[in-house]
Structure 1
Amino acid sequence: MKKLTLILICIATLGLASCKKDTIVQSANNLTIIKYIEPNQWKLSDDGYTYYATINESRIDPRTFEDDGILTYISRGDNNTYEQLPFVYNVDAYSYVIRQGSIEIDIQSSDNQDTTPIKPTTRTRVKIVLIESAQ
């Protein structure tokens, strides 16, 4: 009886070990968009707590807005580095809001003593990456 059980376990083990595993990778249609915010485009909110700039982008249509991933990066001073939003630099918190047809970049102070954020004085490069969702 023990031999029969051992033989059945060996057969089951060999049967399970011989299963083939496939990895299926679908390529997605991602899109990278570069935009610029000039220093005079930053506006201060009525309460004085937020500098914001709106980037109009028609490719953020209703389908993209609801179904896809949208990543945003900025290059402060339009240099050769990007920082992914949100982040904090020099007590200012950088974040973004996505709407159909636009992205708003916000800068707010993270300091309770000095609540006015620092306005950018140079051109800011913005990278927007639209990542299509495979549904």
Structure 2
Amino acid sequence: MKKILLLLLCTATLGLASCKKEVIVDPGLPNETIETVIAPGNWTYINNNETLTTTVQFPEIDPATFKNDALIVALYPDNSVAEYKGMPFTYNGLAYSYTVRRGSITVEIETSGDNNLTPTRPVVPVGLRVTFVTSTLR
């Protein structure tokens, strides 16, 4: 009985040890990150001053990129804190979101439910980081 149990244990150990995870990276599909700055004067109020919006031109979002690739969009909302925040997110009672279109990305800052809170136009440049994750649509 002990021999059979030992034989099964050895077989299972060898079988599990031979499994390995393999990550295949296709060098023909490079990812790309683009950083830009949104100037304070580029923000516009809409929706009775409840939303700030700006549109940043990205010619890199051509029809093929729009159809096939993924975009990771992050914002640097506060120059006193050295960090980008991936959108969408809520920060200091405001909701930050984005919309991707062919050729552009629109960023919006709006109240996150507090009707007494009105978004204020940034007084310093806001960093925008966009990472293009290249893929193919199947």
Which category of TM-score, normalised to the shorter sequence, fits these structures?
Answer: 0.7 to 0.9
Residue 92 (structure 2) aligns with: 90
TM-score by length of 2: 0.77
Secondary structure in 1 aligned to 2:64? helix
Q: Give the distance between the partners of 2:23 and 2:136, measured in 1 at CA.
A: 13
How big is the shift at 1:19? 7.0
Output one character per residue of 1:82-124: Cα deviation in whole Å (capped at 9) or x when no partner.
1111111111100100000000110001133325322211100
Secondary structure in 1 aligned to 2:72? strand
Residue 26 (structure 1) aligns with: 25
Residue 125 (structure 1) aligns with: 127
Secondary structure in 1 aligned to 2:66? helix
Is the CA contact (8 Å cut-off) linking 2:68 and 2:136 kept in structure 1? Answer: no
TM-score by length of 1: 0.78
Report 1:71-90 matches (<5 A). 71-78=72-79, 80-90=82-92
Q: Which moved more, 1:43-52 or 1:83-92?
A: 43-52
Q: Give the distance between the partners of 1:55 and 1:101, measured in 2 at CA.
A: 9
> How many percent identity over aligned positions?
28
Report 1:13-92 matches (<5 A). 23-27=22-26, 28-78=29-79, 80-92=82-94
Q: Give the distance between the partners of 2:113 and 2:16, measured in 1 at CA.
A: 59
Q: Give the distance between the partners of 1:108 and 1:82, measured in 2 at CA.
A: 18
Q: Give the distance between the partners of 2:117 and 2:17, measured in 1 at CA.
A: 64
Describe the shift of the 1:25–1:44 C-alpha distance in structure 2 as closer, same or farther (beyond 3 A).
Answer: same
Describe the shift of the 1:33–1:112 C-alpha distance in structure 2 as closer, same or farther (beyond 3 A).
Answer: same
Larger-Rg structure: 1
Secondary structure in 2 aligned to 1:104? strand
Is the CA contact (8 Å cut-off) linking 1:37 and 1:126 kept in structure 2? Answer: yes
Residue 4 (structure 1) aligns with: none
Residue 116 (structure 1) aligns with: 118
Residue-pair matches, total? 131
Residue 104 (structure 2) aligns with: 102
Long gaps (5+) in structure 2? 1-7
Q: Which moved more, 1:83-92 or 1:113-122?
A: 113-122
